[in-house]
Amino acid sequence: MTATYQPALPIWCAGCGHFGVQAAMNGAIRALEIPRHETMILAGIGCSGTVQNNLGTYGYHALHGRVLPTAAGVHLANPDLTVIATGGDGDGYAIGMGHLVHSFRRNASFTYVVMNNGVYGLTKGQNSPTFQADGAAALDFDAISLGLSIPATTFLARGFARWTDQLDRLMLAAVEHARAGRGFAFIEVLSPCVTYNDTYPVWEASLHDLDADGAHDPADRAGAFAKLASLAATGRMAVGQIYRADGAQQGRSLPRPAAADTSPDTHAAAYAAVMNRYRV
Ligand SMILES: Cc1ncc(C[n+]2csc(CCOP(=O)(O)OP(=O)(O)O)c2C)c(N)n1
Ligand code: SF4
DSSP states of 5-16: --PPPP-PPTT-
Ligand 2: lining residues by beta carbon, under 6 Å: 12-13, 16, 18, 47, 117, 121, 193-196
Task: Check residue 89 and give its pLDDT.
Answer: 97
Show Cβ contacts of residue 147 under 8 Å, excluding neighbours closer than 6 positions. 104, 153, 156, 186, 243
The interaxial angle of helices 164-179 and 18-31, nearest 10 deg, is: 50
Q: Does domain 18-251 match CATH 3.40.640.10?
A: no
Task: Check residue 2 and give its pLDDT.
Answer: 55
Q: Which ligand is nearest to the CA of 197?
A: 2
For residue 186, is pLDDT > 80? yes
Ligand 1 near 188 CB (within 6 A)? no
The residue count for the chain: 280
**What's the chain's average pLDDT?**
93
Q: Which atom of ligand 1 is nearest to the CA of 44?
A: 15
| Runs of H (alpha helix) within the chain | 18-31, 67-77, 89-90, 97-106, 143-148, 164-179, 200-206, 221-233, 259-262, 264-276
Ligand 1 near 184 CB (within 6 A)? no
Q: Domain limits of the chain?
A: 18-251
Cα(95) to ligand 1 centroid in Å equals 9
Q: Which atom of ligand 2 is nearest to the CA of 117?
A: 3
Model confidence, pTM: 0.93
Q: Which helix (H) or strand (E) holds 87?
A: strand 82-88
Q: What is the mean pLDDT of residues 234-243?
A: 96
Cα(116) to ligand 1 centroid in Å equals 12
